[in-house]
Amino acid sequence: MATIIDGKALAKKIRENLKIECDKLKKKNINPKLAVIMVGDNPASKVYVRNKSKACKEIGIEYEEYLLEDTITQQELNELIKKLNDSKEINGILLQSPIPSHLNINQAFKSITYRKDVDGFTPSSVGKLAIGEDTFISCTPHGVMKMIDEYNIDLTGKDVVILGRSNIVGKPLIQCCLQKNATVTVCHSKTKNIKEHTKRADILISAIGQAKFVTADMVKENAVVIDVGINRTEEGKLIGDVDFEQVEKKASYITPVPGGVGPMTIAMLMNNVIKAAKEQNDKNSTF
């Protein structure tokens, strides 16, 4: 049976350490602050945003929410971002996706200064990650890497297979795993014979959003299996991309859903806000 990678416990530990960091900053009159922009009325986004504000409160990070009508223009959105870029009080800016389809999300991300890009989505952050410079790493891949580190899983020379190539999960994971000296394969919806790839994986990371897509026959004996996927069953239960009950018997390590990658994502967002506040208040920062 696999060792369960306990994302919930690790995320709690990270948040507790961040609270200590945050208290230290406050003693120096630095008050870390996150601004969250939400456009329109997406129920799932509301839940995500509520969870982020809860985590901020617990750590002591100040939090400001901008709820915009879904009729807002690109120019109005960009102007708000510019105002937040220029604000001395705001350390981190997060634009909650999705946004209405008449708006261009990449253009909006581009207008966030990389120094406040706590989601790690701007071209500057993505480019800095690709050339190995210190930057904000997108929170979910960052959380995955923290879990791998915490459980002392060495990626050197290992075959990592990533399912999914999205800008927010799959692609940043490629860079993160390369930096850890893994040999990386990425599969997506046009990949032929996915099983041939997954069967070779020492570490299999699934981020496609298909319930129970990864079955035991697709997994190598003793592989490490990280499940980023979040899918809802007809009964409303949350499940991952991996058939947990079967794959658990074959893997060496496995993340559960819920309680795996999910809590790590918010913890790493909090980590990025504290980092932003530190860097912005450090005269010697080269960030």
Q: Which residues bind ligand NAP (CB under 6 A)?
A: 140, 163-166, 168-170, 187-191, 194, 207-210, 228-231, 261-262, 265
For residue 231, the surrounding DSSP H or E stretch is strand 231-232
Identify which of residues 51 and 113 has a Cβ nearer to ligand NAP in the complex.
51
Name 109's Cβ contacts closer than 8 Å, sequence gap at least 6: 95, 117, 121, 122, 123
CB of 80 to ligand NAP, least distance (A): 24
C-alpha 154 chain-centroid distance: 21
Name 133's Cβ contacts closer than 8 Å, sequence gap at least 6: none
CA distances from 73 to 68, 70, 77 (A): 10, 9, 6
Identify which of residues 72 and 253 has a Cβ nearer to ligand NAP in the complex.
253
Residue 52 a catalytic site member = yes
Find tokens 């870029």 and name the residue.
Answer: 85
Residue 134 a catalytic site member = no
The strand pairing partners of 205, in sequence order, are 162, 226
The strand pairing partners of 33, in sequence order, are 62
CB of 231 to ligand NAP, least distance (A): 6
Identify which of residues 58 and 76 has a Cβ nearer to ligand NAP in the complex.
58
**Marked catalytic residue, from 6, 119, 202, 243:** 119
Alpha-carbon Rg of the chain, whole angstroms? Answer: 19
Identify which of residues 73 and 215 has a Cβ nearer to ligand NAP in the complex.
215
CB of 260 to ligand NAP, least distance (A): 7
CA distances from 104 to 35, 73, 99, 101, 109 (A): 20, 10, 8, 7, 9
What is the spatial order of strands in the sheet that 92-95 belongs to?
62-68, 33-39, 92-95
Residue 119 a catalytic site member = yes
Identify which of residues 90 and 266 has a Cβ nearer to ligand NAP in the complex.
266
User: What residues are annotated to the active site?
Assistant: 52, 96, 119
